[in-house]
Structure 1
Amino acid sequence: MKSELNKLFSDFVSIFFPRECGCCGCVLKYQEKFICVACDFHLPYTNFHEYSDNDTARQLWGKAPVEEACSFLLMQKDSRVEHLIYQIKYNNQPFLAEYFGYLYGLKLIEANAYQNIDCIVPVPLHKSKLRKRGYNQSTYFGRGLSRAMEIPLREDILVRKKATISQTGKGRLDRYENVNDIFDCQATGLPANVHILLVDDVLTTGATIVSAALALLDAADCRVSIATLARA
């Protein structure tokens, strides 16, 4: 009886405030949570966590000595995933990043390569961008991972000390120069040989996350693995 009343109330509310799929924008049905069944079926999940020699890992080879690297989704122009990332970053829907982080965390805890992670560190925004946007989407992604993997999220370890200009339109070399030495690492209190899972929303050239990984490796006695929500 109670569940029927909840459904009726939800249906009534949805008439005036319809919930939309985070990937395609269609109105969600009662049993659908954040994305519709069709999008869930068609999303390009990578399964990169199942093998170390994947495209995300290959992209970072020779740039930062990371242990493992993976991405949950593939992003192409005008795709469901691009729409999802836009909703997360620019349309005040960071809960979508947390939802997908939770889903990915459930997969990572089953993968041998990610069994010994000690903490999760999101790539931080500069305080000026954080004020403007109101949230860090990578932190929300990390929260979902943290909940699923039951591993602490540490937002106090990395600090973005420089506000960089947008990477859009920049070439590969310019992107790396734009994010060179922009992070500080507060490594005090970290145990020796700590294994950090560094997380971000999207991997494009890899310039930002490489800069963050190097900051961690330079300042702390640690190992670093990487996970992103998507890769372009």
Structure 2
Amino acid sequence: MRILTDIRDFFFPRLCMACGKKLLVSEQVLCCDCLSQLPFTHLGNTPGNEMEKIFWGRFPIVRASSLLWYSRGGKVAHILAGMKYYGRRQVCRHMGEVLALELQSSGFFAGVDYLLPVPLHPDRLRTRGYNQSLLLAEGISRVTGIPVCDGVLRRVRNNQTQTHKSAWERQENASHLFQLAGDTRVLERKHVMLVDDVLTTGATLTSCAEVLSEIKEIHLSIVTLAWTR
């Protein structure tokens, strides 16, 4: 198997998503140097942390956390670009595993019944071929064993990109984006964790939560791979 791996890496070298350097056989997605230099938030499962406070007054939230700080042009930006625009599905799942391994020991996932990825609009899903938030949730599920619940939330408007928009414009852009779909009784009285790739102002996640709050006695938490503070 090692010979086959060496042959594959010779003809199809695996490159670090953050710096582009060739990966060693023992490395996945990121080289050890980049992995050690990632800007971790260290929010963990701290009650009332900075990210959680973003959603106070918008909807009742159990807990919220994010793994990495995002900055334009940085290592995390390269990872997210690979996840969203370059078809790197294995990167999405792997980063979900990294996120889960980092947060699991803090008890962040304790009591969570379902992981619910933020859906893409069908047009964007057809263009991209996959939903990076769904794959991220699948990676988290691999580590935690929490099932992924996909399909109860539908994106009904293909909003414009949030890039270069002000906080007010982002909020307006994200209004009335979602609606419930199918049988939502499975989420009644359940603790559901919304999963997304990056948090900016929280407008999109708030739009999701407003719709999900129609479900009887649902409890909501949020986790993202990265956060633009």
Using the size of structure 2 for normalisation, the TM-score is: 0.93
SS of the residue 2:214 aligns to: helix
Give, as a single letter, the amino acid of the residue that structure 1 aligns with 2:193: L
1:67 Cα deviation after fit: 1.0
1:152 pairs with one of 123, 143, 147 = 147
State the match for 1:99 in structure 2: 94
1:167-223 alpha-carbon deviations (Å, 9 max, x no partner): 122111111111111111235332542100001000011110111111111234200
State the match for 1:189 in structure 2: 185
SS of the residue 1:35 aligns to: coil
2:9 pairs with one of 5, 10, 14 = 14
- 8 Å CA contact 1:199–1:227 kept in 2: the answer is yes
How far apart are the structure 1 equivalents of 2:70 and 2:4? Answer: 36
1:59-96 alpha-carbon deviations (Å, 9 max, x no partner): 22222221101001111121110100001101111221
Q: Pick which of 100-109 and 144-153 moved more.
A: 100-109
State the match for 1:50 in structure 2: 45
Give, as a single letter, the amino acid of the residue that structure 2 aligns with 1:216: L
1:216 pairs with one of 212, 215, 218 = 212
1:76 pairs with one of 71, 78, 86 = 71
- CA RMSD for the aligned pairs? 1.5
Give, as a single letter, the amino acid of the residue that structure 2 aligns with 1:176: Q
How far apart are the structure 1 equivalents of 2:89 and 2:22? Answer: 19
1:172 pairs with one of 167, 171, 174 = 167
How far apart are the structure 1 equivalents of 2:63 and 2:222? Answer: 6
SS of the residue 1:202 aligns to: strand
Q: Percent identity?
A: 34
* Distance change in 2, residues 1:185/1:95 (3 Å): same
State the match for 2:197 in structure 1: 201
1:97 Cα deviation after fit: 1.7
Give, as a single letter, the amino acid of the residue that structure 1 aligns with 2:9: S
SS of the residue 1:49 aligns to: coil
- 8 Å CA contact 1:49–1:70 kept in 2: the answer is yes
SS of the residue 2:186 aligns to: coil
1:86 pairs with one of 66, 69, 81 = 81
How far apart are the structure 2 equivalents of 1:161 and 1:198? Answer: 18
Gaps of 5+ in 2: none
The count of corresponding residues between Structure 1 and Structure 2 is 227
How far apart are the structure 2 equivalents of 1:106 and 1:45? Answer: 13
- 8 Å CA contact 2:109–2:144 kept in 1: the answer is no
How far apart are the structure 1 equivalents of 2:156 and 2:140? Answer: 25
- 8 Å CA contact 1:190–1:220 kept in 2: the answer is no
1:229 Cα deviation after fit: 0.6
How far apart are the structure 2 equivalents of 1:64 and 1:191? Answer: 17
- 8 Å CA contact 1:198–1:225 kept in 2: the answer is yes
1:28 pairs with one of 6, 23, 32 = 23
SS of the residue 1:208 aligns to: helix
1:147 Cα deviation after fit: 1.3
